[in-house]
């Protein structure tokens, strides 16, 4: 059954990528979403005959979730900018850009699972239990994943 499922998945991979790409408008994110759909499938007790529609639904749901969190992230940034009624000094802009670059570099070198847990906690506002359920790990492990990212970001900003 697993071989049939893998064949179905590979056969529909282009369609799944197209679905995700249409929603998230980013090829690399779409590829991650399609891979995540495979993992989600294996975490459930679905029938082989339901593979095609369920894979498509999982991909669409994951893509919408990603887009929703991205929209929330931009909304939060927009709100922050609106609260600041003054024009920052050139020095403040340079420092902020430098700090942002340090955070981005740090996030790029950390394991994706840790960054994903951090994003779910900080951006999506999910509880550790919800994150753990989604990642398939314990609450304490989830806390450790998020904490590691926070520590690494703190160290990057101190240097």
Which residues fall within 8 angstroms of residue 105, CB to CB, at 6 or more apart? 156
Token pair 């759909």 in the structure block, residue:
37
> What is the per-residue pLDDT across 78-137, written as a single tens digit (0 to 9) for each?
666 666 656 677 888 888 899 989 999 999 999 999 999 999 998 888 899 999 999 999
**pLDDT confidence of 44, banded at 50, 70, 90?**
low
Higher pLDDT, 28 or 51: 28
Q: For residues 29 and 32, what is the distance between their CA atoms, to the nearest angstrom?
A: 5
Number of continuous H segments (helices) and E segments (strands) in the chain: 7, 0
Q: Which tokens belong to 154?
A: 């703190």
């Amino acid at each position: 059954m697993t071989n049939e499922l893998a064949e179905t998945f590979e056969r529909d991979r282009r369609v799944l990528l197209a679905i995700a790409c249409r929603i998230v408008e980013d090829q690399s994110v779409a590829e991650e979403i399609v891979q995540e759909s495979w993992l989600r499938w294996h975490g459930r007790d679905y029938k082989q005959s339901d593979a095609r529609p369920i894979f498509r639904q999982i991909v669409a749901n994951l893509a919408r979730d990603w887009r929703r969190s991205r929209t929330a992230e931009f909304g939060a940034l927009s709100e922050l900018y609106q609260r600041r009624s003054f024009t920052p000094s050139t020095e403040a802009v340079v420092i902020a850009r430098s700090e942002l670059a340090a955070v981005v570099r740090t996030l790029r070198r950390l394991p994706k699972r840790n960054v994903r847990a951090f994003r779910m906690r900080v951006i999506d506002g999910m509880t550790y239990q919800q994150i753990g359920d989604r990642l398939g790990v314990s609450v304490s492990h989830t806390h450790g994943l998020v904490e590691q990212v926070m520590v690494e970001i703190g160290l990057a900003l101190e240097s």
